[in-house]
Amino acid sequence: MPTLKSYNPATGTVMGEVPITNPGDIPEMVKKSRNAQPSWDQLGHHARNKLLVDAYRDIQSQTERLASLITREMGKPFREGLIEAESLGSHLEEELREIELAVVPETYRDEKSLSTVYRDPLGVCAAITPWNFPLSMPSWMVIPALSTGNVVLLKPSEETPLCGQAFVDILNAHLPKDVLNVIHGADEQGKKLVESNVDLIAFTGSRETGKDILRSASRTFKRVVLEMGGKDPMIILEDAHLEKAARFAAFNSFRNSGQVCVSTERIFVPEKIAEQFEALLVETVEGLELGDGMKETTTLGPMVNSRQRDHVLGQIDDAVTEGAEILLGGDGHKDNFVKPTVLTNVTESMSIASDETFGPVACVTRVASVDEAIRKANSTPFGLGAAVFGENEEETSRIARQLNAGMVGINQGVAPCVRGTPWIGARESGYGFHKSKDGHRQFTQTRVVTKRF
């Protein structure tokens, strides 16, 4: 049986392998899932949720093992892997209650009729996930899908099949057969799954793949929930607390080596304070330690693979050729490791200012006015997150409302945000969304039944 090997991006060693799913078997797998769905639905919320709670207890009892798997499979520092593993199901019971409340039948009545709005499971959901949060992305989709009575076929990224398999194995020790199954492979398996007889495709990944999925799904009007990439701007105002702003810029440009959908990819700073801000940013970034994420002192791991490394280095080279100045970083990158890089004089025409980088690079653009910063911040087709830093509450709020993004942070990133709010992208970053009452409802079909008195 052909296998999919998983490599440690820090060392290049093989971590393990999983059997690749034969694309020709996917329609039959969907059929099996569909057969399992009615009894899963009939169990009811309470029983389904209990099984999920039991499964997530198992996850929580092995967060160190899971964190180490995340780090060795995709490279993020162990402490970041631990934060991800610990976040799984950390508020599960509240979340399950919110999901149940979102789909509980509602009644509307007037003097003649009674209408009941039901939110029924769609049936079979495909969940297609990326590698940068290899446990939390599957979890974000699987919890609302299963809790609302759907069954799921999960296709984890080909870069992190062991994390995907570990997640499914833990849940399947508690769930009935065929309620959750895994499909291993790359785009061929993903495409086949999208074309198959599933009812909804929940996807997180790149914008290009999102477009492919939308095209394919449109043939049969399959429901889709698509969370794509971003090119998040950060606007710094003249009265901002500069140390705070520099600390945030360093954190949010370099966390997970910049391989985060809501990484700060563009920083707009007024000319007057630019030099001071850049010096603070460089000083903070100099303190980062690049290395194998399993080493305790590492704060910056490798790129997930050589393709991603080449993409990031290509964007840096092009930017420098077009006039960007390197304040930190530059050459000497080894294997999959990209040295933390700070660029200034970044202009709109550079690919690093318009296409997602997904790497450890902070890009500074000096601006003459707030209006210029807002215009430039809104100049890409992306619209996931954004941040604005300044001390005048009225002004930061006014600017936040002018940024064309799904989520905006004032003097912080897009998270933490208050529970119950959606994770959402605007424009080409999102088509559908996660979390929140409306987000959970996307996993259901709304039906209205009316009777006359």
Residues 40-79 that bind ligand NAD (CB under 6 A): none
- The smaller minimum CB distance to ligand NAD, of residues 40 and 167, is found at 167
Is residue 126 within 8 Å of 115, Cβ to Cβ? no
- b/e for 126-151, b at 16 or more Cβ within 10 A? bbbbbbbbbbbbbbbbbbbbbbbbbb
Catalytic site residue from 80, 84, 159, 227 = 227
Interface with ligand NAD includes 205 (CB under 6 A)? yes
Residues 179-198 that bind ligand NAD (CB under 6 A): 186-187, 190-191, 194
Interface with ligand NAD includes 80 (CB under 6 A)? no
Residues 260-319 that bind ligand NAD (CB under 6 A): 261
- If binding means CB under 6 A, how many residues of this protein chain bind ligand NAD? 30
Q: Rounded to the nearest 5 degrees, what angle is found at the Cα of 344, between the Cα atoms of 338 and 345? A: 135
Rg of the chain, C-alpha, whole Å: 23
Interface with ligand NAD includes 365 (CB under 6 A)? no
d(CA 154, CA 264): 29
Chain center to CA of 62 = 23
* Residue 106 falls in the annotated catalytic set: no
Stretch that binds ligand NAD, among 54-62, 204-212, 249-257, 315-323 (CB under 6 A): 204-212
Q: How far is CA 166 from CA 49, 139, 305, in A?
A: 20, 12, 21
Strands of the sheet with 325-328, listed across from one edge:
325-328, 341-344, 361-367, 264-270, 232-236, 385-389, 407-410
Interface with ligand NAD includes 351 (CB under 6 A)? no
Name the minimum Å distance from CB 96 to ligand NAD. 21
Interface with ligand NAD includes 149 (CB under 6 A)? no
Interface with ligand NAD includes 155 (CB under 6 A)? yes
d(CA 165, CA 18): 8
Q: Among residues 22, 206, 378, 436, which is the contact residue for ligand NAD, using CB under 6 A?
A: 206
- Give the Cβ contact number of residue 45 at 10 Å: 17
d(CA 305, CA 336): 6
* Helices and strands of the chain, counted as H and E runs: 16, 20
For residue 128, give the nearest of 119, 117, 140 by alpha carbon.
Answer: 140
Residues 381-400 that bind ligand NAD (CB under 6 A): 384
Binding mask 209-238 toward ligand NAD (x if CB under 6 A, else -) reads x--xx-------------xxxx--------
Interface with ligand NAD includes 425 (CB under 6 A)? yes
d(CA 390, CA 227): 29
- The smaller minimum CB distance to ligand NAD, of residues 38 and 381, is found at 381
Q: Among residues 157, 165, 196, 404, which is the contact residue for ligand NAD, using CB under 6 A?
A: 157
Stretch that binds ligand NAD, among 68-76, 152-160, 294-302, 344-352 (CB under 6 A): 152-160
Catalytic site residue from 261, 265, 278, 356 = 261
d(CA 397, CA 379): 20
> What is the residue-wise DSSP string for 269-330?
EEHHHHHHHHHHHHHHHHT--BS-TTSTT--B---SSHHHHHHHHHHHHHHHHTT-EEEE--
Q: Among residues 131, 167, 337, 389, which is the contact residue for ligand NAD, using CB under 6 A?
A: 131
d(CA 253, CA 225): 26
Which alpha helices (H) appear in 43-177, and where do they start and end?
A: 44-60, 63-74, 78-87, 92-103, 136-147, 161-172
- The smaller minimum CB distance to ligand NAD, of residues 190 and 390, is found at 190
Name the minimum Å distance from CB 175 to ligand NAD. 21
* Residue 395 falls in the annotated catalytic set: no
Stretch that binds ligand NAD, among 8-16, 206-214, 287-295, 407-415 (CB under 6 A): 206-214
- Give the Cβ contact number of residue 112 at 10 Å: 8
Name the minimum Å distance from CB 40 to ligand NAD. 24
- The smaller minimum CB distance to ligand NAD, of residues 240 and 377, is found at 377
- The smaller minimum CB distance to ligand NAD, of residues 155 and 266, is found at 155
To 10 degrees, what angle do helices 63-74 and 44-60 make?
70
Name the minimum Å distance from CB 283 to ligand NAD. 28
- The smaller minimum CB distance to ligand NAD, of residues 126 and 324, is found at 126
Residues that bind ligand NAD (CB under 6 A): 128-133, 137, 155, 157-158, 186-187, 190-191, 194, 204-206, 209, 212-213, 227-230, 261, 356, 358, 384, 425
Task: List active site positions.
Answer: 227, 261
